[in-house]
Structure 1
Amino acid sequence: MTVRNFSLIPSLSDALFSDRFNRMDRLFSQLTGDTPVAATPAYDIRRVDKDRYALAVSVPGWKGSELSIETVGGQLTISGKREEQKETESAENGWLHRGISRADFRLSYTVPEHVKVTGAKLQDGILAVDLYQEIPESEKPRRIPITHGQQAIESQQAIEHQSA
């Protein structure tokens, strides 16, 4: 399994060296038996409103039964494991080229505290995961009133008067 750090802002050097990197990655993957980095599915993260987010993962050709979503200790993990396929099936169906990734994958995201997965839907090769951030009232920011001038003096006198 390969761990991949996702860059939010691609730099110019990424574009210049991406082909060389992909070739080296495939070479090392063949030697080690790991899945190439390019085999991990593409994804989008979008803020829907103040408290809701949407994660979309591109999983063309995957069935719902082959995908799994877990949350454990602040980690959201999405994984795909292909069901066993008969070796003769692909040869009999006349495939000339199979470019759609068939490799098992595992994506892991760190989610902020109080974020919960509220649902997931697989449609048209996109796994849509709904996230909701619910901050408890005790942790929400609150305003503390500030007294001005005479009010502060009156409150001090009342405290002094009570202690005498």
Structure 2
Amino acid sequence: MRTFDFAPLYRSSVGFDRLFDLMDQATRAETSAATWPPYNIEKLADDAYRITLAVAGFAADEIELTQNGNTLLVSGQRKNEGERQFLHRGIAARQFRQTFNLADHVKVTGAGLDNGLLSVELVREVPEAFKPRRIPIGGASSAVGQDNAPVQVEDRAKAA
């Protein structure tokens, strides 16, 4: 497996710590516990996403979703099934913890469990304060009208 040294990037950039931490995590060897349960991440629209996890055998009250800042934690723990004797056990019943790092302003809008698939709906809602806006260019006095409207300048030779 390849390893990458991100130190030069840390030295020449400011405010990208979270991105570099994510890249560090991605380059680490994955264990089987980190990849279970299997999941899909779908882009439904420009600002809408869905995470679908295969959680066969888990009931809705055995799964917990927690969003803390930019992190979504999905965990599941089966309740005691009582004494059952299995001749073959192919459906995993172990507990799981799956963490997803979310972009800024991504919020969970809903979740549903259907046919052993847990669907988590996400949407990115950028507040007005963070959306791009035009900045007028001007000196000490601000221009009247549109941001880029031409400003009338009087000819001093005619005025004299």
Q: TM-score, normalised by structure 1?
A: 0.63
- From the superposition, tell whether residues 118 and 50 of structure 1 become closer, same or farther in structure 2 (CA, over 3 Å): same
Decide whether the 8 Å contact of 2:34 with 2:98 is kept in 1: no
Decide whether the 8 Å contact of 2:41 with 2:51 is kept in 1: yes
Q: 2:69 matched to which residue of 1?
A: 73
Q: 1:111 matched to which residue of 2?
A: 102
1:45 and 2:45 correspond:
no
Equivalent position to 1:85, from 81, 84, 91: 81
After superposition, the CA RMSD in angstroms is 2.4
Q: Which runs of 4+ in 1 moved over 4 A?
A: none
Deviation at 1:112, TM superposition (A): 1.1
1:78-106 per-position Cα deviation (integer Å, ceiling 9, x unaligned): 000110121x22x1xxx321111111000
1:52-96 per-position Cα deviation (integer Å, ceiling 9, x unaligned): 11110110111001000000121100000110121x22x1xxx32
**Counterpart amino acid of 2:97?**
R
- Larger RCO of the pair (alpha carbons < 8 Å, separation 6+): 1
Q: 2:116 matched to which residue of 1?
A: 125
Aligned mates of 2:95, 2:67 — CA distance in 1: 19
Aligned mates of 1:43, 1:78 — CA distance in 2: 11
Q: TM-score, normalised by structure 2?
A: 0.65
Q: 2:16 matched to which residue of 1?
A: none
Number of aligned pairs?
118
- From the superposition, tell whether residues 98 and 44 of structure 1 become closer, same or farther in structure 2 (CA, over 3 Å): same
1:102 and 2:93 correspond:
yes
Give % identity.
35
Unaligned runs of 5+ residues in structure 1 are 8-20, 26-35, 158-164
Aligned mates of 1:127, 1:98 — CA distance in 2: 22
Aligned mates of 1:100, 1:6 — CA distance in 2: 28
1:86-135 per-position Cα deviation (integer Å, ceiling 9, x unaligned): 1x22x1xxx32111111100000111111111100000110000001100
1:114-159 per-position Cα deviation (integer Å, ceiling 9, x unaligned): 1111100000110000001100111111244445xxx3562xx6xx
| Partner SS state of residue 40, structure 2 | strand
- From the superposition, tell whether residues 6 and 122 of structure 1 become closer, same or farther in structure 2 (CA, over 3 Å): farther
Decide whether the 8 Å contact of 2:62 with 2:76 is kept in 1: yes
Decide whether the 8 Å contact of 1:47 with 1:54 is kept in 2: yes
**Counterpart amino acid of 1:44?**
N
Unaligned runs of 5+ residues in structure 2 are 1-24, 136-146, 155-160
